[in-house]
A = this chain, B = another copy of it.
Amino acid sequence: MNAASPLLPFHQARHAFRLGTSSPREYLERCLHTIEAREPVVRAFAHLDVDGARRAADAATQRWREGCPVSWIDGMPVGVKDIIETADLPTGFGSPAFAGWRGGRDAAAVLALRQAGAVVVGKAVSTEFADVSPGPTTNPHDARRTPGGSSSGSAAMVAAGMVPVALGSQVGGSILRPASYCGVFGFKPSFGALNRGGLGDQFSQNCLGTLSATLEDAWAVCHEIARRVGGDPGWPPFAGGLRPAPPARPRALAVLETGAWARAEPAARVALDGLLEQLRGQGVKLWDRRTSRRVERLEAAIEDASRRSLAINDYEKRWPLGEIADRIGPVLSPGLRAGVARGRQMSAQRYVALLQGRDAARDALAALAGEVDACLTLSATGPAPRGLGSTGDSGFNVPASYLRCPALSLPLLQADGLPLGLQILGQPGQERALSSVARWLVGKGAGGR
């Protein structure tokens, strides 16, 4: 099987729209062709809206023809994770309890995308309530392997070339890990940077973000969302710009082990080591826990991030998951019900202590601001594991959620002939600086060339 995307990046296709040599409808038809060919195996869509997408693409085509597209992403086909509400399509939250459910409204991000002329192709499969129980989606690189989760469908539909961008969300590792497994860009912005209104879960680490075939298309989507509906109330909206910043060689990077290092597979370590060797050769100063006290302080602060995040998330399952559990409990998976029960056992004192620990970890990241241009680590312990019963190990992804900082998974590494993401983490609100490092890493062909 082959996941190589035949899809032209949207930011390149738009030039042809302007010239009149192609159109959003033509672009959509290529997407639909790929969907028709690959969806029976990939199973990325919880709901597909061919007619609605064609209508929206035709309207965009008309605007481009008249020389007045409403935005840079006018006519862009997008997938929307199925825990994000859509007025015209059902939202199932990855749960049989909500099969066919319609809230009758657009989530904030969907409202923004529609205002910007984007074409909602359908809803992307999510794990159950963006937790761990997987849906039917397979990895486009190998259908026997998981695409990762919880943004399973979003990552897979981009990797298969069905859409250039899909919306995802991450509480633990739900954007960065599927991006790594599927070989696409995963972008988890700073906490609060994209308005989560109408997103099914509202955990205190949760972020809306993107899975995409290019950094440029992801940036344009985030820019249009923030511009039109802002970030979460009380938080600075995404300010990364319409286009990522020009590439620039980082002066110094912090190489993080995180609490997951001991579980990193040999092939993944080898892939990362090869990249680090290249970076050193290009004059990038690399700090790690052995050479920098500040990095060691951050490592110590995130060592236990997975366990602490899970506890914070459990406490926050009191609502809406607790309400759903009380009302229609047996339809929920035993794992999710157990999480609700654990959360209800936790004292407020313990929860507040966990929040304070998380704040302290963020201080440790902030202390690195003058020292390094970004932090760097693996996006996963290895390539996508075999089997569809588990969405994999989120150990390398949780720190970015816990630190509430922006992070990118770049599809630059390989292990065992399968994709593996390189993860970079920036300072909160500094998406623009992070994009500069990302583009340099991408442009230099990290990973071998």
Contacts and interface: CB of A to CB of B under 8 A. Distances in A.
B348 A237 contact: yes
B233 A327 contact: no
Q: How many copies does the complex hold?
A: 2
A335 to B, nearest CB: 20
Contacts of A106: 323
Interface in A208-248: 226-230, 233-237, 239
Contacts of A352: 236-237
A315 interface: yes
Interface string A152-175: 000000000000000000000000
Contact of A198 (B206, B226, B319): B319
Contacts of A227: 348
Interface in A326-370: 326-327, 348, 351-352, 355
Given A327-B87, A348-B237, A355-B236, A320 B105 contact: yes
Interface residues of A, number: 38
Given A202-B197, A236-B352, A348-B237, A319 B229 contact: yes
A306 interface: no
B233 A203 contact: yes
Contacts of A206: 233
Interface centre among A111, A237, A323 (most CB of B within 10 A): A323
Interface centre among A203, A233, A316 (most CB of B within 10 A): A233
A160 to B, nearest CB: 31
A124 interface: no
A330 to B, nearest CB: 17
A108 interface: yes
A146 interface: no
Interface string A304-334: 0000000000011011101110110000000
Contacts of A324: 105
A280 to B, nearest CB: 38
A278 interface: no
A111 B319 CA distance: 9
Contacts of A234: 204, 316, 355
B229 A322 contact: yes
Contacts of A151: none
A239 B323 contact: no
Contacts of A391: none
A308 B229 CA distance: 19
Nearest to A203: B233
Nearest to A110: B323
Given A107-B319, A111-B322, A229-B318, 17 more contacts: A105-B324, A106-B323, A108-B319, A111-B323, A195-B318, A197-B202, A197-B319, A198-B319, A204-B233, A204-B235, A226-B348, A230-B315, A230-B316, A230-B348, A233-B316, A235-B355, A237-B351
**Shortest 10 CB-CB contacts between residues of A and residues of B:** A204-B234, A108-B319, A204-B233, A197-B319, A229-B318, A233-B316, A237-B348, A236-B352, A111-B323, A229-B319
9 contacts: A105-B323, A105-B324, A105-B327, A108-B319, A111-B322, A204-B235, A227-B348, A230-B318, A235-B355
